[in-house]
Amino acid sequence: MSEAIRKAGELTLDETTVTALRAVLRTTADEVVQAIIDEVPPYAGALSGRMGGTIRGAVRTALGHYLDLASGNATGGDGGDAAYELGRGEVRDGRSMDALLSAYRVGARVAWRCLAAGAVPAGLPAAEVAKFAELTFAYIDELSAASAAGHADELAARGRARERYLEHLARDLLAGASPDVLLASAQRAGWQPPASLTAVLLPAAQARPAYRALDPGTLVLDDLPDATGVLLVPDADRPHLLRLLTGRTAVVGPARPWTRACASYARAARARSLSSDIRDTEDHLPELVLSADVDALADLRTRALAPLQSLPTATARRLEETLREWLLNQGRREDVATALFVHPQTVRYRMSQLRELFPDLASPHRVLELTLAIGLRAD
């Protein structure tokens, strides 16, 4: 408290004045607390009962330290430490720094009035009274600054702690933790669970910039392997979300109940591995279904298309293309011909060959197998 110490060095208080001031400390503390209750609304119900007694004791301690400083018997360090802790405590009690600064201003006014009322009758000269006033307000200013620092540090510490809790929650969600674990993790992070979460995968460098445009309840991770970032967006309006992500290399998974966000993440991750062109997984459900078990699909193709294996490669390819269009166009010859850029009579000829190779082509089961085997192959 360099300024307060300097002001104290300019002040001369005799023992009679100091004794008179100490005699009014208790009543001064009580008046300070009462004035704060009356004039600063956030403290209206906070300084009653046991809490009020604790605060009154703290005010008396601060005033006693102030008188030690004024009489040249203290350095001022303890007052600053206590004020710093007071600022931190106000965060824990849910009050803003504005409320505490208002309390300091009210306290300084009332304390000066009470202390001056004790010092002047004790014979403090007018010149010293002025110095006494300067010391009073310099001391309060420095207490206020120490409290502001404590308040800011506590907010920052809480912000960092909550950010760690939110990241832990996001990891639990992606890992598919149990609902009980997820609920406990959400409560620890102070995060209100939504009805659903939608996973968005994008480059890690884009995660934080994109996050700033989304719902503040969005969870974000930007340190996954392969420089991947993940956003878990609560109760997303899908068209709006897609518009917000325009210009970003993002893959948007499906909306899922919040405890099953891992399913949305898994689908988005699989879509991303399937193709770099996929943006909305809902537009690519057939591809995603057929790619769920690549080995099974390969086995299905081998078995379903076995009759073509004995043919020359070019012939097999033409017949497979024709079969694909015949299945997708539900046997409409004109549509098949248009898709293949051939004459309808050519389609008729090829289908005759295919019916010889696949005698059970009219079987629903065979149609299903063949549709799955070749339905998504490129032309």
More confident residue, 291 or 49: 291
Bridge partners, residue 220, by sequence: 231
**Alpha-carbon distance 58 to 94, whole Å?**
19
Number of other CB atoms surrounding residue 211 within 10 Å: 18
Output the pLDDT for position 71.
Answer: 72
Neighbouring residues of 304: CB distance < 8 A, sequence distance ≥ 6: 366, 369, 370, 372, 373, 374
| Helical residues (DSSP H) of 195-312, grouped into ranges | 204-211, 238-244, 261-274, 285-290, 294-304
For 62-120, how does the pLDDT look when each residue is reduced to its tens digit (9 = 90+)?
777 777 777 766 554 456 777 888 888 887 777 888 888 888 888 888 888 887 777 77
**Alpha-carbon distance 55 to 62, whole Å?**
10
More confident residue, 178 or 99: 178
For 112-147, how does the pLDDT look when each residue is reduced to its tens digit (9 = 90+)?
888 777 777 766 776 677 777 777 778 888 888 888
| Beta-strand relationship, 251-257 and 219-224 | unpaired
Once rounded to an integer, what is the mean pLDDT over residues 28-51? 77
Amino acid at 346: T
- Both ends of the chain: CA-CA distance in Å? 81
**Alpha-carbon distance 373 to 370, whole Å?**
5
Q: Are 199 and 218 in contact (CB under 8 A)?
A: no
- Residue 235 pLDDT grade (very low, low, confident, very high; cuts 50, 70, 90): very high
Least reliable range by pLDDT among 143-157, 216-230, 330-344: 143-157
| pTM score | 0.56
The DSSP secondary structure of 92-113, one letter per residue, reads: HTT--HHHHHHHHHHHHHHHHH
**Alpha-carbon distance 291 to 194, whole Å?**
31
**Alpha-carbon distance 271 to 257, whole Å?**
20
